[in-house]
Amino acid sequence: MARLSELGAELYDLTLRPFVQASAPQPVAAALRPAHPARVARRVSGPDNPRMRAVPGLAAAAAPDRKPAAAANPFLALEKWWIDGAIQAFDLWRDWRDAVYEATFLSIYGSPAMDAIAKTHAFARAMKDPKELKFLPEVQAILLGVRRGGFIEAVIRMLILLAQARSSVRRDRLERSAKVLSRDAPFASLGTDRRAALIREQTIIVEFDADEAVAALPDLLPDAAEREQAMALVEFIAGAVEEMEPHTMKTLQRLRATLSRPRSPCRIWRAAHRQVAQSAAGATARR
């Protein structure tokens, strides 16, 4: 439609516009402007009309004597009936008019001829290579935090890894996951915005660096009891083993094997450093 409008405007500028400008100079246009029907109607009912000058005084005199009609007045029922009928008639007319407009629009601008006219101006979406998205500053900032977090981040990350391993997710699994992440502790205290932000961050980490996302899980879960709790929660959401797909079982085995490995010395040092920093921050807050 934009292309056809552009062609129409160019055709008018090249053919008719010079003649219209020559036949309608400014004095003629200024004389015709007050003759517009909308302006004429306003002048007829406005204060410029001598016959309307008495209306403000009559309205002011009638205002003190105005009283609401009685509830039993039959004209009130007639008025309501007429208004309801007018509303339905206008709604019917509007719906019929819009349907005709839509059908006409689609029949004209959806035709093969219009496709050929607008072919040179067709909208084409530029699709970026997913590998390039990894180097966006926002993605890089999130990937730097692959080893930051705790129980909540680890569980969300593992659930995303499981979802990627499946070709489809059953409805009962989705309901179970939604219930855990929205109602059960410690996820219930997150709030909708914080929960959505964590899911987004962990999805980006899994999408662009899945191997590192798995390898970093021990840093997120330094305590053995937390690891068992996280795995139990993930396996509960995943469902019965006999109903799992091979890819899901393989991912679960990989997660359990990763969490059963002892952390490397550098990871232990980072965890200890983080724990000391958190303790110092807590002591400062208490003071």
Q: Is the same domain home to 257 and 277?
A: yes
Domain that holds residue 138: 130-286
Q: Is the same domain home to 154 and 275?
A: yes
Question: Considering its fold, how many domains does the chain have in total?
Answer: 2
The model's pLDDT over 179-238, given as tens digits with 9 standing for 90+, comes to 777 777 788 788 888 888 888 998 899 888 888 988 889 988 888 888 888 888 888 877
* 63 — pLDDT class (breaks 50, 70, 90): confident
Q: Is the same domain home to 194 and 212?
A: yes
Q: Is the same domain home to 152 and 282?
A: yes
> 59 in a domain, yes or no?
no
How many Å from the N-terminal Cα to the C-terminal Cα in the chain?
68
Is the per-residue pLDDT at 271 higher than 60? no
Q: Is the same domain home to 144 and 269?
A: yes
Q: Mean pLDDT throughout 34-51?
A: 86
Is the per-residue pLDDT at 244 higher than 80? no
Q: Is the same domain home to 196 and 97?
A: no
Measure Cα distances from 171 to 71, 174, 239 in Å: 56, 5, 12
Residue whose token pair is 């509303």: 87
DSSP state of 49: S
Tokens linked to 90: 């206008």
Domain C-terminal end among 96, 121, 146: 121
Q: Mean pLDDT throughout 265-274?
A: 44
The model's pLDDT over 105-146, given as tens digits with 9 standing for 90+, comes to 999 888 888 888 888 777 766 666 767 788 888 888 888 888
Q: Does the pTM of the predicted model rise above 0.75?
A: no
Check: CB of residue 156 under 8 Å from CB of residue 198: yes
